[in-house]
Amino acid sequence: MIRKATVMKVYKDKYDDYKQRHDKLWPEMAEMLKAHGVHHYSIFLLEETGQLFAYLLLEDEASFAKVAKTEICQKWWAYMAPLMETNDDLSPVSHDLREVFYLA
39 is catalytic: no
Contact indicator for 8, 96 with CB cutoff of 8 Å? no
Distance CA 4, CA 55 (A): 6
Q: Is 104 helix (H, G, I), strand (E, B) or coil?
A: coil
Q: Which residues contact 32 (CB under 8 A, 6 or more apart)?
A: 67, 70, 72, 73
The active-site residue out of 22, 39, 40, 95 is 22
Rounded alpha-carbon distances, angstroms, from residue 52 to 12, 38, 44, 103: 11, 18, 6, 22
Residues catalogued as catalytic? 22
